[in-house]
Amino acid sequence: DVAIIFIRPQRYTKEFVDESDTFTLSFFDDKHKELSYLGTKSGKDEDKISNVNFHIEMVDGNPTFKEAKEVFICKKIYVGKLEKEHFLLPEIYEKNYPLNDLHYVYIGEITDVYSNK
């Protein structure tokens, strides 16, 4: 099984994903309203993890959150960048990429799944 993620080049997360052969995907219950805050703030500007009172935990040498209900450990098997000329509908490109900051695509083989249920 594989997981596919997309990360814009200016996102702080990209630096961490690029530095490692693996990445984690953490899934949470609906009760965690803090996730909207995490999605709108940058870890470059503040310690947003501490600000929402989440706790980083290492699982098999990979960072995740103690608060996550499920975690996928993924081994990177592909990295590429979306390309403007491959968009079949130009209006999608124009709407989503006015700065030409196309997402990078990462495909990871899911090597382990951990549950905190």
- Please state, rounded to an integer, the average pLDDT across all residues of the chain: 90
- pLDDT on residue 49: 83
DSSP 17: H
Residue 30, both tokens: 């609906």
- Element (H or E) spanning 51, and its range? helix 48-51
Query: Residue 104 maps to which CATH number?
Result: 2.30.110.10
- pLDDT on residue 111: 97
What does pTM read for this prediction?
A: 0.86
Number of structural domains (the chain) is 1
In which domain, by residue range, is 34 found? 2-115
Give the residues of the chain that fall short of pLDDT 70. Answer: 32-33, 41, 117
- pLDDT on residue 8: 95
Cα 71 to Cα 82, 94, 95, distances in angstroms: 26, 34, 32
